[in-house]
Amino acid sequence: MTHRLLIVCKGNICRSPMAEAIVRARLLRPGMQVASAGLAAMRGFPIDPKAQAALAAHGYDGSDHIARQATKVLMQQSDLVLAMEQRQVAAVLALCPTLRGRVCMLSHWQDGSDIEDPYGRDQRAFDIAFERIESCIRDWRTKL
């Protein structure tokens, strides 16, 4: 069982905070920790209002999220790192080669494809990203 889960994306204001909020609400078990971070984080920024709106429309809340950087130490302390894009998996492994086997795509149990970044786009793009993220997390339910 995974005890420390880290979800990464680029800026840590859209996709990974949505995923973190969903995991907290749906999958968090005693002894399990979940966090999110960005490989090029917009440090100190709150969740994007459109990401929060997508979450809220489905009963989730990410309003207390503050973006942070995915550091080598944070990644090494994680039992599993889930990324939104293949290039993020590669970036994590470039920083921490010892994580090989503990870094996966969030979409691993589906098609393994990238979850498109909605940043700077309209609400519909955020809603589509939310739906994809929530679906992928459902597939991780029995794996975590």
15 is catalytic: yes
104 is catalytic: no
Q: What is the pLDDT of residue 65?
A: 97
- Tens of pLDDT, residue by residue over 30-89, are 899 999 999 999 999 999 999 999 999 999 999 999 999 999 999 999 999 999 999 999
Specify the pairing of strand 4-9 against strand 80-83. Answer: parallel
Question: Domains, the chain, ranges and CATH?
Answer: 4-140 (3.40.50.2300)
Task: Give me the percent of the chain exceeding a pLDDT of 90.
Answer: 92
Catalytic residue (one of 9, 14, 96, 136): 9
Whole-number Å distance between alpha carbons of 17 and 43 = 13
What is the maximum span of the chain, computed from C-alpha positions, in angstroms?
Answer: 39
Query: Would you state the structure tokens that stand for residue 81, as one six-digit string?
Result: 């790192």
| DSSP single-letter state for residue 126 | H
9 is catalytic: yes
Non-local CB neighbours of 74 within 8 Å, separated by 6+ positions = 6, 35, 37
Average pLDDT, integer, range 109-138: 98
Q: How many CB atoms lie within 10 A of CB 44?
A: 8
Within 1-144, residue ranges assigned H as helices are 15-26, 49-56, 72-76, 86-95, 123-140
pTM of the prediction?
0.96
